[in-house]
Amino acid sequence: MITRRRFLGQSLPFIPGLFTAGAVSLRAMSHDARAVAPPVVPNLDPNTLARYVDSLPLPQVAKPMEHRTAPDGSGERVPLYRVAMRAISVKLHRDLPPTNLWAFGGSVPGVLFDTRSGEGQLIEWANELPQKHFLPIDHTIHGAEKDVPEVRGVVHLHGGKTPAESDGYPEDWYVPGQSRTYYYPNRQDAALLWYHDHAMGINRLNIYAGLFGLYIVRDGVEDALNLPSGKYEIPLVLMDRDLRPDGQLSYPVSPNPERPWVPEAFGEAQLVNGKLFPYLDVEPRLYRFRILNAANGRFYRLSLSNGAEMQQIGTDQGLLPAPVALQYIQLAPGERADVVIDFSLHRGEKLQLESEPFELMQFRVGNAAVADVGLLPKTLRPVPRIAESSAVLTRRLTLDENLNMVAESMGMLLNKTMWHEPITEKPMLNTTEIWELVNLTEDVHPIHLHMVRFQVLDRRRFDTFDYMTANKLRFTSPPMLPEANEMGWKDTVRVNSGTVTRIIVPFVGYTGRYVWHCHILEHEENEMMRPYEVLPARM
């Protein structure tokens, strides 16, 4: 009998050994009883490695090659960067051999873009990867058929208000030896964004291999707050991986070699900025941490080992109205958090950043006196709430999972619609819509909309049986308002099991074809992604 339990913010089948190295979910098993499971190679147990022997690496800031005229007709001269996707080999821990990865600009995470609001830039994304993939491709997944080139990529700026032709549409991939130059206008508020591969059919593998990096947008409103900056502003990119004893990546597969896709991938090795158990020396003062959950499917619930408070000052799309004091910060895949920690309260201590049951990294707080500890403003940036009455349309959209008799996943869907079916969501530019996300599955799904930012209205539990059998939406709880640290602008929202999550979305920016999808990458890859099209405004 299969039961289910909650783990790190999501629902998973409870199967003995599911969370040990090398295990896979029963939902990933194939119909084909004749298939022979590949031999199981035990993965590395990260707990056998020494903790806190590697310092936290920081990503290198990208430098432009030259300046060119922006393609938007403005005549503006903008910087041009060139970043290559290429194979690298790098040590994830002092005591491990180098691991083979794919990277943007020679590191994982890739080079960091530090930009200003309103100052556009061009980036040539060059595919210099090998011709063969080193992770297991499932050729039964749409977009990854055997007649499609094995290695391909396309780059999406997650959270960017970007023209459609530069958004990284999943079917606009290109192969080794080719490149694409994208224009990012940066006409948006200060925020921590990130870029990553989005190639149809192998996105989960390319990101697992290391194809992602950070992209910061700054502006004058944020500058005026005098938040910790320079060496006191630290990016933290979280991700989990399974490793073989030789230090190489191990990606989970089903027992059927012809259908290796699994519905979730959780690694035992927790990496921060590409290192296992790193440490960071800090002064006893305020630090700002720009945190990204870049895992394929793991939800992180972040806390400090001594139970100390953290101040969250921003979310996906920029600053909150005011700091929010928290002992725990939950991040779904794709979500970001802007967090300030006051280490002046912990002089001489060693604190661990944790996500139960894992230790992620260590902060080593110095004893030396600091002239300026720093001061966190009580107010940050106004975030006026959008009136529901401004919405011209409310869409009810379901999150679905097809199951067979042995609870095996046959794929996930949005609104019971496959990727290749005609586009059904066609909002008009400069209008506002409410999207009701109805979760009929037993998982938590982080739903991401490209190009736009939105606000969370509320969540409300409902009877899933009534909905699935009689198409009747019967609520079983009153509306639950967003948590305090969700009261800013978002681009990725957690949609809990058995709830309707309502978001209000201004479609401001550009016309064209975009996508919305679950950011659990294994779900996205197997049909939990749909295109939508922003139509021109009526004259």
**Assigned token pair, 428:** 């008009």
Distance CA 109, CA 330 (A): 21
Distance CA 287, CA 235 (A): 11
- Phi, psi angle pair for 485, to nearest 5°: -85, 10
Picking from 280, 282, 281, 283, the residue whose alpha carbon sits closest to that of residue 372 is: 283
Provide the pairing of β-strand 269-272 with 275-276: antiparallel
- Residue type at position 131: Q
Architecture of domain 388-534: Sandwich (2.60)
End-to-end distance of the chain based on CA atoms, in angstroms?
Answer: 59
Question: Which CATH class for the 1-44+225-381 domain?
Answer: mainly beta
- Residue type at position 487: M
At 371 the pLDDT is 87
Under DSSP, is residue 486 helix (H, G, I), strand (E, B) or coil?
helix
CATH 2.60.40.420-classified regions of the chain: 1-44+225-381, 61-221, 388-534
Helical (H) or strand (E) element with 207? helix 203-209
Distance CA 286, CA 288 (A): 7
Under DSSP, is residue 220 helix (H, G, I), strand (E, B) or coil?
helix
At 538 the pLDDT is 84
Is 61-221 CATH 2.60.40.420? yes
Distance CA 52, CA 276 (A): 8
Check if the beta carbon of residue 320 is closer than 8 Å to that of residue 480.
Answer: no
Check if the beta carbon of residue 7 is closer than 8 Å to that of residue 388.
Answer: no
**Which residues does 196 contact at the CB level (< 8 Å), separation at least 6?**
155, 156, 158, 207, 211, 212, 213, 294
**Assigned token pair, 257:** 């070699």
In angstroms, the Cα distances linking 179 to 110, 162, 366, 459 are: 17, 18, 46, 42
E-strand stretches of 445-506: 445-449, 455-461, 492-495, 499-506
Walk along the chain (539 residues) in steps of 10 and give the mean pLDDT of each run.
Answer: 32 30 33 47 94 98 97 94 98 98 97 98 98 97 96 98 98 98 98 98 98 98 98 98 97 94 96 98 98 98 96 98 98 98 96 97 95 94 98 98 52 93 98 98 97 98 96 96 97 98 98 98 96 93
- Phi, psi angle pair for 80, to nearest 5°: -115, 130
* Torsional sign, CA 62, 66, 71, 75: positive
Please, what's the largest Cα pairwise distance for the chain?
70
Q: Which one-letter DSSP state was computed for residue 525?
A: H
Taking the mean position of all CA atoms in its chain, how far away is CA 343?
A: 28
